[in-house]
Amino acid sequence: MTPRPRSGRRTQRERRETTVGKLVDATIEAVADVGYARTSVQEICGRAGLSHGGMFRHFDTRLDLVVAAAAEVAARQTRGFADRFAGLSPAQTSLADLLRQLRDLSRDPVNAVWRELLVAARTDQRLRDRLRPIVENYRDDVYAAAMLVPGIAAFDEEIREVLLFSVLYLFDGESLVRPVAEDGPREQVRLTLAERCLNSLTG
């Protein structure tokens, strides 16, 4: 039996996915532009071009939408990490190259959203409880992606994960302060010291 051609009209599921995508994207943009505290329902809906009712048809609360946005941010970061390093050979990625790539990732605008949400969660118990499983999954996914990076296997298995996240947290802290007080010369020294420290743990 020949299948009936589609009329070109979107299904209800497709319409829902499009609307949810707009809301999540608008939330991410709002957090990046005005911060978590000012990312109100009005701010989100204005950016998404939707009514409040349109938002609440898909998310029961603002917090539910923020959590969905956090999950999307974590997924984008993990994809960005994997995309940068997938398929590289050891000859293409020195330790210094890897550190610079990790620093660049920490300075990506989407990572600023991730940091903003983590800072907000420090004093917001409900947000903290909802973000905890997302953060745990994010760590697992980033570590799995890191195992594809040439040179990572050179480090002892017992310390690989700690080293990876220690470096990421170093650059996250640097990126957090940088918009307020950029310090280029010390940033280069910090990169060199990180490389020396990591080199001392291989071999």
How many structural domains compose the chain?
Answer: 1
End-to-end CA distance of the chain: 65
31 touches 69 (CB < 8 A): yes
CA 49 remoteness from chain centre: 25
- 24: in domain: yes
DSSP 8-state assignment for residue 154: G
- 3: in domain: no
**Amino acid, single-letter form, for residue 108:** D
- 80: in domain: yes
User: pTM of the full predicted structure?
Assistant: 0.85
pLDDT at 6: 54
Each residue of 2-61: pLDDT tens digit? 455 455 677 888 889 999 999 999 999 999 999 999 999 999 999 999 999 999 999 999
Average pLDDT of the residues in 67-88? 87
Exposed, middle or buried by CB within 10 Å (0-12, 13-18, 19+), for 50?
A: middle
**Amino acid, single-letter form, for residue 130:** R
Q: Where are the alpha helices (DSSP H) in the chain?
A: 12-34, 41-48, 52-56, 62-85, 95-106, 109-121, 125-146, 157-177, 184-199
- 83: in domain: yes
Each residue of 124-171: pLDDT tens digit? 999 999 999 999 999 998 888 888 777 777 788 888 899 989 999 999
Each residue of 49-74: pLDDT tens digit? 999 999 999 999 999 999 999 999 99
What domain range is 104 assigned to? 12-199
- 38: in domain: yes
The domain that contains 88 carries what CATH number?
1.10.357.10
Instruction: Please determine, for residue 91, whether its predicted confidence score (pLDDT) is greater than 80.
Output: no
